[in-house]
Structure 1
Amino acid sequence: MPKPNEDHPSPAEEHDQKLQKLRKRLIEGEASGDAGELDFETILRNARKNSGGSPADE
């Protein structure tokens, strides 16, 4: 069996690191306050425009 490489985390350690980063970012997002009202029609229209979506998608 190959010896674990100490320079690279194991898959379980990578998973734990990703979870820690996600938790940290979620906490930061919650602490940043309310984003205000969102206009989903405008958000979708801009997303389609920026992604090259066709006008028929609107």
Structure 2
Amino acid sequence: MHIDIDKDACIGAGQCALAAPGVFTQDDDGYSMLLPGSEGRDDPMTREAARACPVSAITVRDGVG
């Protein structure tokens, strides 16, 4: 699975990190970022985290790359 985070759209709500803490975290400024090694891993909560984002800053696609 490929995960994109639109850094310009992210408002730092943290819903992604709450929904999928094994995939997302927040940087020092509170904005969403992927945990190292989480790209390509098929965590069932990743799509839920994308749906939970209040500004739709996260896009999840099947496949890698």
Q: What range describes the TM-score normalised by the shorter chain of this pair?
A: under 0.3
Higher helix fraction (1 or 2): 1
Larger radius of gyration: 1
**Higher RCO (C-alpha 8 Å, min separation 6):** 2
Structure 2-normalised TM-score? 0.20
Structure 1-normalised TM-score? 0.22
